[in-house]
Amino acid sequence: MMLQTLSQYLAYPFVRYALIVGTLIALCSSLLGVTLVLKRFSYIGDGLSHVAFGAMALAAILNVSNDMLVAMPITVLAAVLILQLGRSTRVRGDAAIAMVSVGSLAVGYLLLNLFSTSSNLSGDVCSSLFGSTSILTLTLEEVWLCAAVSVLVTGIYIFFYHRIFAITFDESFALATGIRASAYNLLIAVVIAVVIVLAMRLVGSLLISALVIFPALAAMRVLKSYKSVIVFSAVSSVLCAVLGILVSILAGTPVGSTIVVMDIALFLGCALAGRLRAA
């Protein structure tokens, strides 16, 4: 019965697009999530998602057809800025991020209020913050863009896997033995920014952090080698995303929060398993 409804839905291209994009975004964000969590960078992801909201607001009032083209460069720039600010001794890292992120949230909302031509302003804002249904309105062009970026991100991650491991585990050692750690930090920040702009479509800017950190934290509860943590969080994140999208279509719940609830369940399950094994 349920399978029948499901196959009916799968006949629609927008459902297939949503599943494809959801899978890709879940994959990318979980790969980076492990690095972010271990480098104590998770707050950067959170800060950047607010910047992405501000950038999307800007794109909306500029009436750009593909708002990612505006949001992407702005968020990448913010990532670079946060990294530089955090390194200067005058502003501490977390304070720098709080400044940039809360600032862009406020300015974004203000801009929308002042200049938006939309008749349903609070609906638009809610959609940017929590994702709502925008994932179900993807065009084929956006699916291709997302696929291209995901392949690039995954490729970069695999190519630099060993170096990313080295600087994540011990940045001073990597630096001392001649690995250009700051260049890789920059690379990581830029890639995070790109992934966050993509993920905004899926779960909205307030919920992106969940997609980034939950699979990594879940994997770290039960697994003991870096490689297994990466593989497990990638696979489980994809499963959560697919399951979340299907459930939300069947039950009519909001896509973003349904996926996040799946991620929370995954984390709780792993935490429990880790506890049981330790005992």
Partner 1 sequence: MAQIECTNALLGYEGQPVLKDLTFRVSKGDYLCVIGENGAGKSTLIKTLLGLTPPLGGTIRLGDGLKQADIGYLPQQTDIQRDFPASVREIVLSGCANRLGRRPFYRKEEKRRALRSMEDLSILPLADRCYRELSGGQQQRVLLARALCATSALLVMDEPAAGLDPVASQELYQLISEINRKGVTIIIVSHDLPSTLRYASHILHIGGPSAYYAAKEEYIASEYGAKFIRMAGGEK
Interaction site with partner 1 (CB under 8 A): 38-40, 89, 158-163, 165-166, 169-170, 172-179, 219-220, 223-227, 229
Q: Given the complex with partner 1, which of 99 and 186 has the nearer CB atom?
A: 186
Sign of CA dihedral 190, 42, 158, 147: negative
* Residue 43: CB minimum distance to partner 1, A: 15
Q: Given the complex with partner 1, which of 26 and 166 has the nearer CB atom?
A: 166
Sign of CA dihedral 31, 37, 40, 43: positive
* Residue 174: CB minimum distance to partner 1, A: 7
Q: Given the complex with partner 1, which of 7 and 177 has the nearer CB atom?
A: 177
C-alpha 264 chain-centroid distance? 15
* Residue 161: CB minimum distance to partner 1, A: 7
- Read off the tokens for 199: 């993920």
Q: Given the complex with partner 1, which of 38 and 77 has the nearer CB atom?
A: 38
For 170, phi then psi, to 5°, come to: -160, 95
* Residue 73: CB minimum distance to partner 1, A: 28
Query: Beta-strand (E) ranges in the chain?
Result: none
HSE-CB at 246 with a 13 A cutoff on CA atoms is: 17
Contact 10, 224 (CB under 8 A): no
Q: What does the alpha-carbon distance between residue 82 and residue 85 come to, in Å, rounded to a whole number?
A: 5
* Residue 62: CB minimum distance to partner 1, A: 40
Q: Given the complex with partner 1, which of 43 and 160 has the nearer CB atom?
A: 160
